Structure formats: C-alpha cells, structure tokens
Amino acid sequence: MSEITSFPPPSTDLSILLLGSGGREHALAYKLSQSKRVSKIYVCPGNGGTALMGGKVSNLSIPWGAPPAFNSIIEFAQSTKIDLVVPGPEQPLVDGVEGAFKKIGIPVFGPSPQAAMLEGSKSLSKEFMFRHNIPTAQFRSFTSDQYTQAVEYIKSNPFSSGRCVIKASGLAAGKGVLIPETDEEALEALKSVMVDKEFGDAGDEVVVEEYLTGPEISVLAFSDGYTIIPMPAAQDHKRIGEGDTGPNTGGMGAYAPAPVATKEILDRVVKESLEPTIKGLREDGYPFVGMLFTGFMITPDGPKVLEYNVRFGDPETQALMLLLDDETDLAEVMLAAVERRLDSVKLGYRDGYAVSVVLASQGYPGKYPKGVPMTINPDMPSGVHVFHAGTAIKNDTGVTDGGRVLAVCASGSTLKEAVDLAYSGVDQISWEGKTYRRDIAYRALSSEPTTSSTSAPSGGLTYAAAGVSITAGNDLVEAIKPVVKATRRPGADSNIGGFGGAFDLAACGYEDPILVSGTDGVGTKLRVALDYGKHSTVGIDLVAMSVNDLIVQGAEPLYFLDYYACSKLDVPVATDVITGIAEGCLQAGCALIGGETAEMPGMYHTDDYDLAGFAVGVVERKQLLPSNDIKENDVLIALSSSGPHSNGYSLIRKIVSLSGLSLTDIAPWSKGSQKVGDALLEPTKIYIKSLLPGIKGGLYKGMSHITGGGFTENIPRIFEGDLGVQLDLASYQLPEIWKWLMKTGQVEAKEMVRTFNCGVGMVIVVDSTKVDSALQSLAENGEKGWVIGKVVQGKGVKYTGLESFGQ
C-alpha cells in the first residue's frame, strides 16, 4: 500500500567531531551527549575527563593544527561520516577550519576565517565597531614600527579617566590584556608587549584604549548570520587573586545569570551591539555563524563592548551548560545555526543559578609544573559536576597537564546555594599546589539582601545604614541658602527648607495674567559634567531649558523649582549644581523658591546624579505668543546660541569619543586654549532679559526656542494652518564647533539642521515693517540679531544654502 509523501524524519545517528582539550570541551561533550539525535562524539584530542566519560564520548588522538595540518582530521571526518564539527578554541577558527571542512561538505559550528578575525585581531574588531557605531571605548591602534608614537600617545593622557588599557591585538590565549594603574605602568606594559614580545607575534599590533569603569558581563549568543539568540549573561573572574587582584588569566570562575544584567541592560546589549554586529558582518560580506561571545562593560552610558570572541567562553560555558534545561537539545541548536534556521528552535533554561570554580596549577598564569598526581573523591556532593581542562591519565592516575586544571560546577535555586555547593566540591579535590579563588560571585553576593534576623546592627537599622544621610541633606540646605536668597524678587522671599514655595502673583502688577509653566532636564550633557568633574554650569542649563520655553510664549519667568537625585549625596557637588541653578535664576530674573534632593542608594551608578527643573511664568493675555496675525512674508530674526546648549549631546559625545579626543584635550575648534570639556559645558544662553522689552512693546509675533530637533522640528511649532518658513543658511557663518562635529562625525547638513541648534538658539517672527525696531531693541538689551529668513506658504522648513552649509 502506498504512503502519503512526507518529509524524512531527522537523523538520530549524528556523529560530532569536537575540537579541543579544555574544560569548555568537556562541558560541551556533557551537554551534546544528552541529545537523542547524537550517536557519537569524538573529542580531539580531549583530556582526562572526556576520556572517562564513556558511552557516546571518546577521545581522538589525531594531531591537527593550522593548514595543511587540518588534513588529518578531514580524512578522519570523511572516513567516519562526521555530520558536524564543533571547534572549541579560537585558533582553529582563525586558521580556517570552517573553510577547510566546507570544501568537503561537512558543516562547522563556527564562523569563517574572515569573520573569526573579530577575535583574531583586536585592532580589526575595534575598527569594525567604530565603522558600525557599536558602543565601545575610545582607542588607537599601533603597529610594531610605531612604538615611539604609542609611547607619545600614552604620555599625552588621551583619556578623561586618566588611565588606559594595553591590548595585544592578536591571539594571546585570553591573557593579552594589561590594565596598568599609572602612566609609568602603562609605558612598561606597552614595552613588554611591543618590545619584549611577552605575547609573541600577538603583540605585533597593539590597541591602546580608554579604561572603562563598571561591572563586566559576558554574553554568549548563538547566531546563524541573521538571527542572534543570547544565553543568560555571565560574569567571569579574570584575575588570579581574590578581590580581582594579580595578573589576568584565562578565567578563574564564572556564574550565571549575572544579576547586574537586568532586562533593560540585556535589551540594550542586543539592540545596540549584538544585532548591529551580526548585521554589520553580513553587510561586510562575512556572515557570522556560530557562537559570538562578547564581553561588555556596563558603564554609566550603558553597555560598551570590551572585546569579541568567536567561540564558547571558558569558564562561562561550564556554568551555562548546567542552566540549559532537559528540553534544550544543544546539537539541534547548533545544526539549526549552520542550516540558517536558528529562529526555528528555542532555548530553555532552568530556574536558579550556576557557578564554575576553576582549580589551577601552582604558578599559573606564569610557569607551572605538569604531571602532578590528583585525588578526586568519586562521591561528590549531589549536583556537583567536575569538568576537566588541563588533565591527563598516566598509569591509571589522573595528573595535572595544564595551567587551568579543573572547573568545579554546581547549580542551585539561589546564587549562594550554587556557590556553596560548588565549593563543597572543591573541598573533595586535592593535589600539591592546587590554586583557586575563594570569592567567585562575590560581586553579586555582596549586593544580595540578607534574610537573617542577625544581620541588623545591634542598635537596630537606621536610615543612614540604608545609605541615606539626613545630615548631608541638612548640610546642603545650609550651604545653598545664601545663593538661593540672592534670587529674591517681588512676589517671593526665596526662603527654603519648608514644605513648599509660595509666590504672591499680586505683587507683580499684572492686569490680566495668564500663567505659563514648563519643565525640562539637561539630558546627557550631565554625562560630560560627571566625566569632566565640572558641575558649576549645568544648573544654568537646567534653568535655561525651562525659562526659554516660557519666553517664547511671551511669559516672564516668576519662579523655579529643582529636583536633584543621586545615589549618595555629595554636598560640595550638589552645592555647585544648585549654585548654578541660582545663577540661572538671576539671569532669568526669577526666584528659586524650592526644590527636592533625593538620595536613593542603588538607583544610580556611583557618583551619578540627575536633574529636572520646573518653571512658572506669567504673561498679559493680550501679549500671549504666538499671535494670531502671523502671515506670509513676515521676517525671521535669529539670535546666536552660546554653543550646543543642552541638546544633541548623545551624538556629540559619540563623535568626540570616536575621534579619540578626551575632555582634557585642547578643543580643535577653539582658537585659544579652551579644553573640550569646558567647550562642551558652555552653559545654555538665557534670552529672557533681552527679549522681554520687545515682547512688552509688541514687536514680536512668535518665537521658537531651537533645542533638540534643530530648525526642522522646532520652528514649525510656531504656526497653525498652512504656513512654514524659508531659511537662508548663508545668512550667517556656522561656528567652528559645528563645522568640526559635522566633518569629524560625517554628519550630513540635513541631519545637522534637524538635530542641533547650529549656532542659533532663538528664532523670532516679526512684521516686515518692524524689523529695524526689533533689531534695535535686541541690541539695546545686549543681543545682536540678524535676518535669517521669512514666513512662506506651505508647512515645514525650506532651506537655501543647505548644500554648502558648513563648508
């Protein structure tokens, strides 16, 4: 009887060739062997642990290496009909193992040699990130014949943090990153890499990059060149000693998921880095298939890429394999990736945490002995897994055979449970010189809340014990009282410290008043202030952003309130900020009548703070702007800005970062000695006192405060109906800072005018018969204006001179 045609069932006798000899390969063999589709796993060359697994798993003692030495395993794969090759370490991937097996029709779970250069060359990967706008640290690369230039670069103190990181560009077994603490140490590190050849040929090219601060995470993600699926973020421990001290290693332990990697952080990791990486490689002609293992630093600006790896991480893999649930078939996931159908599979994870603790030989990461006999208790605590790395079997005895010898792993419903279980396994293993860290996962454990009733101080918990200082708040109030008092005006006495601020509107003398309010912040200009350590001007910005929005409606600012939020209140810093707010109020003629200082431990990174402001103004009803008589051929008058004001700083900071400039460098657009940080922190101009006389004199029909969105988005907000404007960009000279940003960031003119103020902070609409009077009023009140365009029929902004703008 004939049967209905159907697709053939999936193969259930897959043979896998797993290349490598470390703990990562043992953990991969452990998980792959659970697949119902897999019948045989050859680990080449494997280690003492994989030799003892039995069942589907066996070691394969065939030497292999860079081409043409892949021939030996190619012949084996053909003769035994291998279905999938899984390279563990990075070297065979860089050497072209994927291409070698591709020629004979055997798929490899790993990238092409070209895509593998993401790990093979740190210089190449940094240039790739720069080209595809992937967040990373500022950097410069130097070749072996540029040692002198590299020395001078370090001596120039190029980074705002005052510290740099030295990276050997080539492969250095995970040890080619040096983190000096002083310039002297940096120069010594540079010499050791470039001159003394500590890492051999890997140091023929060196990357000098900015030292970033923040917690690190490792994100391992499956990719088929189009889809990318991350596993839970892990945190590893690179340094040999407790508390992250001593030299870097290949990794002394890891745990996952890392609590610091919140959903918000992981969403940004995927959207800002992982997806652009896969897309960028595809666009460059090198689609990435395999495991993309990316290291991130969670900085105050968000996650930034530290480095790429193109294979499973070690020791992260050992922990992550314990988190994959029983329903997840690792072999099926790998096949789906190489067959470009990764979106058809799902990865599932157990609840809880997993931990790996690496046991190393004495002397590691330096010279260490081999062949030291080990004793491993066969009756390990339930739930403990021991993955072998540098081990061998000699005369039926397990001996050490590498720097990192074993990874003892465990999982648990809580991180502490997993850690305690793993260390109970560590105690069951011994050999002379066993070296390990006793603080794996200490970062996360130190931040975990305790449920013990004995954890409270003997005198009971206090607000101060939770990280909030009432004393500091009181000190701040006392420190700012004099500057706040200086902002008094009719209607407000500017006394602070009560429950709210009062204002007597009757004292202002208005006949038919309308109240106008506005609120705003300073945006990521605050990041510049924090990085540069200058806090005295952002308060002016805070006031300016709100009161300039009032004046465009014809309103005179009456009073202002601020909101200052931080993790830990630094009284001198907060005093600087609020003194700036008071200065802004003085410039605007309004009273600072109150505010809120919120100290919120755990809500902000280290010394970060955030600001918000709220302003209220008043205007006579008949002077409310915009007026309803704006018409075609009315004239537009422009007033200059003092700089970027407080908008567009996310892009500005990106351009400055990619240029290699630090905030302490002399600004290349400056004719004098002004530093980049000072230039970018130039406070926003407050236009109140120069505009109020013209408003009261009926000279203006409408105004636009040019903020984020530039001319294109802000000027149309004046109009109703079918009116727009024609702007003549040749009517003024674009300031040098904008030319530099435009050229350095390769920002198109069209993008400039819809993002930045481009040197114009305010645009005023006046009747064509009142242009001279308006310009005279502005001049008499300290502001020089010029005609920049006119009102025309048709919505939006039309530009003249856009093609030559900035040239």
Kindly report, residue by residue over 265-314, the tens digit of the pLDDT.
Answer: 999 999 999 999 999 999 999 999 999 999 999 988 889 999 999 999 99
Residue pair 545/707 in contact by the 8 Å Cβ criterion: yes
Extract the runs of DSSP E, i.e. beta strands, from 83-215. 84-87, 139-143, 164-168, 177-178, 205-210
Q: Is 369 left (phi over 0), alpha (psi -120 to 50) or beta?
A: beta
At 691, list the tokens.
């505009």
Q: For the chain, how far is it from start to end, CA to CA, in angstroms?
A: 81
**In 555-642, at which residue ranges do the beta strands (DSSP E only) sit?**
556-566, 591-599, 609-620, 635-640
Return all residues near 185 (Cβ < 8 A) that are at least 6 apart.
none
Per-residue pLDDT tens digits for 461-489: 443 444 445 555 566 566 656 656 667 77
Q: How far apart are CA 230 and CA 807, in angstroms?
A: 45
Nearest partner of 255 among 325, 323, 319, judged by Cα: 319
Mean pLDDT over 128-135 rounds to 93
Task: State the Cα–Cα distance between residues 411 and 81, nearest whole angstrom.
Answer: 36
The answer to whether 385 touches 410, Cβ cutoff 8 Å, is yes
**CA dist 702 to 488, 500, 631, 635, 695, Å?**
29, 33, 11, 11, 9
Specify the pLDDT at position 213.
85
Residue 381 class from Cβ within 10 Å (0-12 exposed, 13-18 middle, 19+ buried)? middle
- Decide: pTM greater than 0.85: no
Compute and round to an integer the Cα radius of gyration of the chain. 32
What confidence score (pLDDT) does residue 458 get? 42
Question: Are 557 and 550 within 8 A, CB to CB?
Answer: yes
Per-residue confidence (pLDDT) for residue 447, from 0 to 100: 63
Question: What is the model's pLDDT at position 598?
Answer: 87
Q: What distance in Å separates the CA atoms of residue 578 and residue 346, rounded to the nearest whole number?
A: 52
Give Cα separations from 767 to 287, 637, 706, 787, 791 (angstroms): 60, 10, 20, 12, 10
Instruction: Return the residue matching tokens 């072998």.
Output: 388
What CA–CA distance (Å, rounded) separates 640 from 783? 8
Q: What is the pLDDT of residue 664?
A: 87
Mean pLDDT within 761-786: 96
pLDDT at residue 450 is higher than 50? no
pLDDT above 90 (res 37) = yes
How many C-beta atoms surround the C-beta of residue 393 within 10 A? 16
Whether the CB-CB separation of 378 and 433 falls below 8 Å is answered with no
Write down the residue that tokens 């009733």 correspond to: 453
Distances (CA, A) of 278 to 115, 129, 285: 10, 11, 11
Res 464: pLDDT: 44
Report the amino acid identity of residue 535: H
Please list the helix, strand and coil fractions of the chain in percent, rounded to the nearest 5, in that order. Answer: 35, 25, 40
Q: In the structure encoding, which two tokens stand for residue 306, read together? A: 């530290």
* pLDDT grade for 606, boundaries at 50, 70 and 90: low
Q: What is the mean pLDDT of residues 603-612?
A: 82
- What burial letters (b/e) apply to 707-732, b meaning 16+ CB within 10 Å? bbbbbbbbbbebbeeebbbbbbbeee
**Distance of alpha carbon 166 from the chain centroid:** 20
When pLDDT is averaged across residues 555-574 and rounded to a whole number, the result is: 89
**What does the pLDDT look like over 144-162, one tens digit per residue?**
889 999 899 888 888 877 8
Residue 7: its pLDDT value, please?
63
Q: What's the mean pLDDT in 215-238?
A: 95
In degrees, to the nearest 5, what angle opens at C-alpha 243 toward C-alphas 198 and 411?
105
Query: Could you tell me the pLDDT band of residue 498, with boundaries at 50, 70 and 90?
Result: low
Bigger pLDDT: 204 or 40?
40
Cα angle value 384/387/391 (rounded, 5°)? 135
Distance CA 234, CA 216 (A): 9
φ and ψ of 387, to 5 deg: -100, 125
Q: Binning pLDDT at 50, 70 and 90, where does residue 182 land?
A: confident
Phi, psi of 733 (to 5 degrees): -95, 120
How many C-beta atoms surround the C-beta of residue 589 within 10 A? 16
List the one residue out of 194, 246, 538 whose CA is nearest residue 365: 246
Cα–Cα distance for residue pair 614/662, rounded to 1 Å: 33
Three-class secondary structure of residue 418 per DSSP: helix
- Which stretches does DSSP call E strand in 72-213? 84-87, 139-143, 164-168, 177-178, 205-210
pLDDT over threshold 80, residue 772 = yes
Give the dihedral of Cα atoms 727, 732, 738, 740; nearest 10 deg. 130
Phi, psi for 411 (deg, rounded to 5): -125, 160
For 528-546, how does the pLDDT look when each residue is reduced to its tens digit (9 = 90+)?
Answer: 998 888 999 999 999 999 9
Rounded mean pLDDT of the chain? 89
Instruction: Give the pLDDT confidence of 64-85 residue by residue, as tens digits.
Output: 886 678 999 999 999 999 999 9
DSSP notation for 640-703:
E-SSSTTSSHHHHHHHHHHHT--TTSBPTT-SSS-BHHHHHTPPPPP-HHHHHHHHHTT--SEE
89 vs 290: CA distance, rounded Å = 12
**What's the rounded mean pLDDT across residues 216-243?**
94
Model pLDDT, residue 481: 63
- Indicate the length of the chain as a whole number: 807
| Rounded Cα gap, residues 684 and 252, in angstroms | 50
Q: Where are the alpha helices (DSSP H) in 291-450?
A: 316-323, 330-338, 415-426, 442-447
